[in-house]
Amino acid sequence: MRFLRRYVFHDIGLKFFSLVIAGCLWAVVTQDQTSEVPMRVPVELHNMPQNLEISSRSLPRAELWLSGASRVLDHLAPNSVHVAVNLSGAQAGERTYTLRDVAVPDGVHVKQVEPAQIQIRLDARKTRVVDVRPRVVGRLASGFSISNVVADPSQITVVGPADRVNAVDAAVTDPVDATGLLSQHTFNTNAYVSDPLVQVVNPEPVRVTVFVSKSRLYHNSD
C-alpha cells in the first residue's frame, strides 16, 4: 500500500490530467499526418469552339496522386477535383495537350498526373440529312408477307464530326415486332445512329407502318 500511495496515487489528479493532454496531442498529430491517395477523374474540355466537334472516340481519365492531411483526404469527394483542358482557339486536327490545369480543394496538393499529356482530335462540325431505315422483326402468319414498310418521318438530321457524319449510311429504328399481323399496322418507335459521336438533332418519335398482305402463292391456291 505504501508503494501504491507513493508511486501510483500520489498527485493522481495531475497524472490523469497529463494523460488526457497526451491523448489529445496524439489524436491531433495522428489526424494531421500527411498521406497520399490516388484518384481517377474525367478530363473536362473547356471553351470548345462552336464550329468544332470531338472526333476522338474516347478520352482517357486522369489518375492523380494527391497528398494532404489524412483527415482532409478521407473526406475528399471525386467531384471536388477537376482536370481541365482549355480548347480556346483550337483548330481542326489532332493536337497534344498537357494536363496541367488541375483544381483541388484547399489543403490538397497534386503530386503527379498520369498521363501527363493526352491527344485530342477535333473535326469540323457537320449537319446532314439521312434516311430512316425501319427495322422489322417477327414472323408473320402462314400465307402472309410484308408488302411495304414506311417510316414517318422518312429522314432525320444528324450532327457531329464531319468525317463521322459522312460515314453514316442511315439512321436505324428500334426493332418493331410484326408477329401475327394480318393487315397494316403503325408502330411508334425511335431512330438512332450507331456512331456515339454522331447525334440526332431534335429527336422525335418515328412512326413505322408495316403493310401486310396475302402472298401471291396463297392467292393462287385459293
Q: What's the pLDDT at 3?
A: 47
Q: What is the pLDDT of residues 49-100, one digit of tens each?
A: 999 999 987 788 899 999 998 888 888 888 899 999 999 999 999 999 999 9
Q: What is the pLDDT of residues 147-170, one digit of tens each?
A: 999 999 999 999 999 999 999 999
Residue range(s) occupied by CATH 2.170.120.40 in the chain? 125-221
Q: How confident is the model at residue 4 (pLDDT cuts 50, 70, 90)?
A: very low
Provide the CATH topology of domain 125-221: RNA Polymerase Alpha Subunit; Chain A, domain 2 (2.170.120)
Residue with cell 497520399: 36
- Spatial separation of the C-alpha atoms in residues 141 and 222, rounded to whole Å: 16
Residue range(s) occupied by CATH 2.170.120.30 in the chain? 33-123
How many whole angstroms from its chain centre is CA 14?
61
Task: Give the residue with greater pLDDT, 34 vs 53.
Answer: 53
- Spatial separation of the C-alpha atoms in residues 134 and 149, rounded to whole Å: 7
What would the mean pLDDT of 168-195 be, rounded to a whole number? 94
pTM attached to this predicted model: 0.67
Q: What is the pLDDT of residues 97-141, one digit of tens each?
A: 999 999 999 889 999 999 999 999 999 999 999 999 999 999 888
- Spatial separation of the C-alpha atoms in residues 207 and 189, rounded to whole Å: 6
Which parts of the chain are beta strand (E)? 34-41, 43-46, 52-54, 62-69, 82-86, 93-98, 101-103, 108-114, 117-133, 136-137, 144-152, 155-161, 171-173, 176-177, 185-189, 191-192, 199-200, 206-214
Provide the CATH topology of domain 33-123: RNA Polymerase Alpha Subunit; Chain A, domain 2 (2.170.120)
Which sign, positive or negative, has the C-alpha torsion 134, 139, 141, 146?
Answer: positive
